[in-house]
C-alpha cells in the first residue's frame, strides 16, 4: 500500500507488463506501463522547494537565461534548464558528488521524480545528458542562476550580510596521479620511473621494480609535474595522509541565517590567507548581483573596508 494506492503487476510471456491500479473506492484503472496517473506523495521538503520555485518563476527565468544554448529543432529533445538545475539541487540536498549518482538517485526515487517534474512513464536524465548539459552551459549562466537564488533568499529576509564565515576543504580532483607528465619534457610518470630504474642499474625494470623505485623517492612537486587533463589540479596531501591531485574549495556563509553566499575553487596547495580575499570578493559580488544593497560598498562608518577576521 503506497499513499492509498495499491499496485499489482501480472506476469505474462508478452514483453509488455500490465499494471493495474486499485483505488480506494474499489474501482480499477488499467494502464500498461504508464503510471503517470499515479502521483506519489513526495517529500515535504522538496514540495516546499518546488512551491517557492514555482511562485518565483524559476523555470521561466532558467529557460530565458539558457535560451541561447538551445536549438529550436535539432536531434532528440534536450534536457530542460529547470530540470538540469533541479538535478544540481538534488545532488546538493542529497550529498551526492557525482553526476552518475545524481542520475541513479533520480531514477530510483518517485519523490525525486516528482521534484524534477518527470512522471513514472518517462525516463529520467542519465549521467551523460547531465554532464553534456553542464559542459554546454557557460559559467555565466550558472552564475546568473546562483544570483537569482540569492535574490529569492534576500526577498525572504534570509540574507543579513553582516557577518560571513569562511571555511575551506581539499577536494580530490577528477584526474589521476598516473596521468601526470613532466613540465620540462612531457614524459609520463611511468617513463620517468623507468629512466630512474635504468640509471640505478636495472636494465629491464618490472612493475615491481618501478613500484620499489617510486616508494624510495620523494613524491612529485607541482613545479615539475602537472596533469594535462586538469592543469589547475595540484599534487596535494589529503587529510587522510594520502597524496592526490586536488582542488581547494572555499565557501562563505551568512552566519546569521546559514545561507551560502559564495563558493570558490583554488589550487589544492593554496593557503587560507591567499584565498580568503577572493572568497570575500566573490561573496560581495554575488550579493550585489542578487540585489542586496544594505551596504553595497562593503564600507564601515569610517569609509574603510569593514572586513574583520577571526581564526578558529
pLDDT in tens, 285-301: 888 888 776 654 443 44
Q: Other C-beta atoms within 10 Å of 149: how many?
A: 19
Exposed/middle/buried for 49, CB within 10 Å: 0-12, 13-18, 19+? middle
Flag whether 250 is in a domain.
no
Q: What is the pLDDT of residues 178-198, one digit of tens each?
A: 889 989 888 888 888 888 888
Q: What is the pLDDT of residues 77-100, one digit of tens each?
A: 788 999 999 999 999 999 998 899
Check if the beta carbon of residue 284 is closer than 8 Å to that of residue 191. no
Confidence of residue 105 (pLDDT cuts 50, 70, 90): very high
How high is the pLDDT of residue 53? 93
Check if the beta carbon of residue 34 is closer than 8 Å to that of residue 7. no
Confidence of residue 40 (pLDDT cuts 50, 70, 90): low
Flag whether 97 is in a domain.
yes
**Gyration radius from the chain CA atoms:** 26
**52 with 129, same domain?**
yes
Q: What is the pLDDT of residues 153-169, one digit of tens each?
A: 988 888 888 889 999 98
**56 with 108, same domain?**
yes
Question: How many structural domains comprise the chain?
Answer: 3
**32 with 49, same domain?**
no
**64 with 103, same domain?**
yes
Check if the beta carbon of residue 56 is closer than 8 Å to that of residue 152. yes
Q: What is the pLDDT of residues 251-271, one digit of tens each?
A: 999 999 999 999 998 988 888
**187 with 128, same domain?**
no
Check if the beta carbon of residue 298 is closer than 8 Å to that of residue 284. yes
Flag whether 233 is in a domain.
yes
**213 with 182, same domain?**
yes
**182 with 100, same domain?**
no
By residue range, what is the domain housing residue 213? Answer: 177-244
DSSP per-residue string spanning 226-294: E-TT-TT-EEEE-TTS-EEEEEEEEEEEETTT--EEEEEEEETT--HHHHHHHHHHHHHHHHHHTT--S
Flag whether 256 is in a domain.
no
Flag whether 91 is in a domain.
yes
Which residue, 225, 244, 263, sits at the end of a domain?
Answer: 244
How high is the pLDDT of residue 125? 92
Query: Does pTM surpass 0.95?
Result: no
**97 with 78, same domain?**
yes
Amino acid at each position: 500500500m503506497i499513499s492509498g494506492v495499491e499496485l499489482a503487476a501480472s506476469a505474462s510471456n508478452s514483453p509488455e507488463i500490465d499494471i493495474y491500479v486499485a483505488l480506494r473506492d474499489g474501482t480499477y484503472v488499467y494502464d500498461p506501463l504508464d503510471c503517470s496517473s499515479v502521483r506519489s506523495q513526495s517529500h515535504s521538503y522538496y514540495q516546499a522547494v518546488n512551491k517557492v520555485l514555482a511562485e518565483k518563476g524559476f523555470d521561466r527565468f532558467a529557460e530565458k537565461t539558457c535560451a541561447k544554448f538551445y536549438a529550436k529543432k535539432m536531434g532528440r529533445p534536450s534536457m530542460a534548464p529547470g530540470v538540469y538545475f533541479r538535478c544540481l539541487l538534488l545532488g546538493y540536498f542529497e550529498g551526492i558528488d557525482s553526476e552518475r549518482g545524481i542520475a541513479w538517485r533520480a531514477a530510483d526515487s518517485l519523490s525525486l521524480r516528482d521534484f524534477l517534474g518527470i512522471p513514472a512513464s518517462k525516463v529520467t536524465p542519465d549521467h551523460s545528458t547531465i554532464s553534456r548539459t553542464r559542459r554546454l552551459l557557460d559559467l555565466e549562466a550558472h552564475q546568473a542562476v546562483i544570483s537569482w537564488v540569492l535574490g529569492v533568499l534576500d526577498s525572504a529576509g534570509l540574507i543579513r550580510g553582516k557577518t560571513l564565515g569562511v571555511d575551506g576543504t581539499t577536494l580530490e580532483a577528477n584526474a589521476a596521479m598516473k596521468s601526470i607528465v613532466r613540465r620540462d619534457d612531457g614524459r609520463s610518470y611511468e617513463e620517468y620511473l623507468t629512466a630512474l630504474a635504468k640509471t640505478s642499474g636495472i636494465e629491464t625494470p618490472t612493475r615491481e621494480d618501478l613500484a620499489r623505485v617510486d616508494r624510495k623517492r620523494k613524491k612529485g612537486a607541482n613545479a615539475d609535474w602537472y596533469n594535462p587533463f586538469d592543469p589547475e589540479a595540484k599534487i596535494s596531501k589529503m587529510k587522510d595522509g594520502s597524496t592526490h591531485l586536488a582542488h581547494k574549495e572555499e565557501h562563505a556563509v551568512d552566519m546569521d541565517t546559514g545561507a551560502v553566499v559564495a563558493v570558490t575553487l583554488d589550487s589544492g596547495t593554496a593557503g587560507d590567507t591567499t584565498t580568503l580575499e577572493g572568497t570575500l570578493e566573490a561573496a560581495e559580488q554575488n550579493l550585489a548581483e542578487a540585489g542586496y544593497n544594505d551596504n553595497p560598498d562593503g564600507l564601515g562608518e569610517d569609509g574603510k573596508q569593514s572586513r574583520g577576521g577571526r581564526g578558529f
